């Protein structure tokens, strides 16, 4: 049985390969033209040491100098010895350039463009050869603005393997991409996307999860929730706090309610920063984090929002004396040249 392996490189690029039955990760990578770090091939040097973010494998044989028992227990492995027993996500301690690989360019066609609010546009693409567009839930791609050489970066809001690739795009006044989508885009338009990119993606769920979304930073969480719904849940509580500036900025509420019905132990709350809001919860996401959601630090936190939000959450954790086991975040500036 073959397995899919995601190789996540230090520079944020991810490439997907397939392993043959009994094949090591290193052999599978080299067979498919990706030269991950390698020297001895015998589990003796440690050059190919990587970290397994998700999945099961047979770690093979090696000497203590190459990989200690403590490292192996943490999830480190040697790709020259590792044989997958499921799909894997491996963090490779090298850049994609050093490994002689690069991001993939994939052509796509506009399926539809829908305004969700004054501030948010939803874009759906039909990807040519969709099987080629593999990504981890939470990752993003660069999308070329038709008629220009410029690209903009957006996280998938669709789950991996979905029929359509969807994105939430902030409607920036006079923005290049949002201007195109608002004024000229039509079904059938051709676009080029490059990726997948980013180290912000859902890892194996081993403890409670707290998701914090700001504005269109909701997109990667919709992708993550789509994957969790497909898998029948996470096996641990998952809570999302979704904050926006104005009441009208809240989007995809029906989608979130549907996920709350489908995913066991998934809950969510929304909040609005505008003091004049009539929303039940006013203020920022940090105002609506219960002690139970922080679980005395035994929690994995995922945060996607503007830099000020990331810093505010850091300060909140410090003031509460809480250090999450893992804190994964992606921040974006509110400009047309940034993500989302």
List, as one string, the DSSP characters of 27-71: HHHHHTT---S-S-SSSSS-TTEEEEEE--EE-----TTTS-HHH
The pLDDT tens digits of the residues spanning 156-195 come to 999 999 999 999 999 998 899 999 999 999 999 999 999 9
* Fold topology of 209-331: Rossmann fold (3.40.50)
Task: Give me the pLDDT at residue 7, please.
Answer: 96
pTM: 0.90
pLDDT tens for the chain, residues 1 to 340:
899 999 999 999 999 999 999 999 999 999 999 999 999 989 999 999 999 999 999 999 999 999 999 999 999 999 999 999 999 999 999 999 999 998 889 999 999 999 999 999 999 999 997 666 789 999 999 999 999 999 999 999 999 999 999 999 999 988 999 999 999 999 999 999 999 999 999 999 999 999 999 999 999 999 999 999 999 999 999 999 999 999 999 999 999 999 999 999 999 999 999 999 999 999 999 999 988 999 999 999 999 999 999 999 999 999 999 999 999 999 876 544 444 4
CB-based contact 24:60 (threshold 8 Å): yes
Under 8 Å CB-to-CB from 127, ≥6 apart: which residues?
106, 107, 108, 133, 165, 193
**Per-residue pLDDT at 339:** 47
Show me where the domains of the chain are located. Answer: 3-92, 104-197, 209-331
CATH of 3-92, picked from 3.40.50.300, 3.10.20.30, 3.40.50.970, 3.20.20.70, is 3.10.20.30
| Domain 104-197 grouped into CATH 2.40.30.10 | yes
Burial 275-314 (b: 16+ CB within 10 A, else e): eebeeeeeebbbebbeeebbbeeebbbbbbbbeebbebbe
Q: From CA 242, how far away is CA 176, in angstroms rounded?
A: 26
Radius of gyration of the chain measured on its C-alpha atoms = 21
Res 103: pLDDT: 87
Task: Take residue 60 and report the two structure tokens written for it.
Answer: 């093979």
* pLDDT for 337: 45
């Amino acid at each position: 049985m073959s397995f899919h392996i995601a190789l996540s490189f230090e520079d944020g690029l991810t490439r997907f390969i397939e392993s043959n039955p009994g094949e090591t990760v290193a052999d599978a990578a080299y067979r498919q033209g990706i030269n991950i770090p390698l020297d001895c091939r015998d589990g003796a040097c440690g050059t190919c040491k990587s970290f397994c973010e998700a999945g099961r494998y047979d770690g093979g044989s090696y000497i203590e100098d190459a990989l200690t028992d403590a490292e192996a227990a943490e999830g480190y492995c040697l790709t020259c010895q590792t044989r997958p027993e499921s799909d894997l996500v491996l963090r490779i301690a090298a850049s994609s350039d050093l490994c002689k690989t690069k991001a993939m360019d994939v052509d796509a066609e506009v399926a539809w463009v829908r305004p969700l609010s004054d501030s948010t546009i939803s874009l759906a693409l039909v990807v040519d050869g969709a099987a080629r567009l593999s990504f981890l839930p939470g990752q993003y791609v660069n999308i070329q603005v038709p008629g220009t050489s410029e690209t903009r970066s957006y996280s998938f809001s669709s789950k991996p393997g979905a029929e359509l690739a969807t994105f939430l795009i902030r409607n920036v006044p006079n923005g290049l991409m949002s201007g195109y989508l608002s004024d000229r885009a039509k079904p059938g338009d051709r676009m080029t996307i490059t990726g997948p990119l980013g180290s912000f993606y859902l890892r194996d769920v081993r403890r409670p999860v707290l998701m914090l979304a700001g504005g269109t930073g909701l997109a990667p969480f919709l992708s993550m929730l789509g994957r969790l719904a497909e898998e029948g849940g996470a096996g641990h509580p998952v809570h999302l706090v979704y904050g926006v500036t104005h009441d009208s900025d809240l989007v995809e509420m029906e989608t979130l309610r549907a996920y709350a019905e489908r995913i066991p132990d998934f809950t969510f709350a929304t909040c609005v920063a505008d003091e004049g809001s009539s929303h039940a919860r006013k203020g920022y996401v940090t105002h609506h984090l219960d002690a139970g959601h922080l679980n005395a630090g035994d929690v994995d936190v995922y945060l996607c929002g503007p830099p000020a939000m990331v810093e505010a959450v850091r300060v909140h954790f410090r003031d509460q004396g809480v250090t999450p086991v893992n804190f994964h975040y992606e921040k974006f500036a509110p400009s047309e040249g940034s993500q989302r």
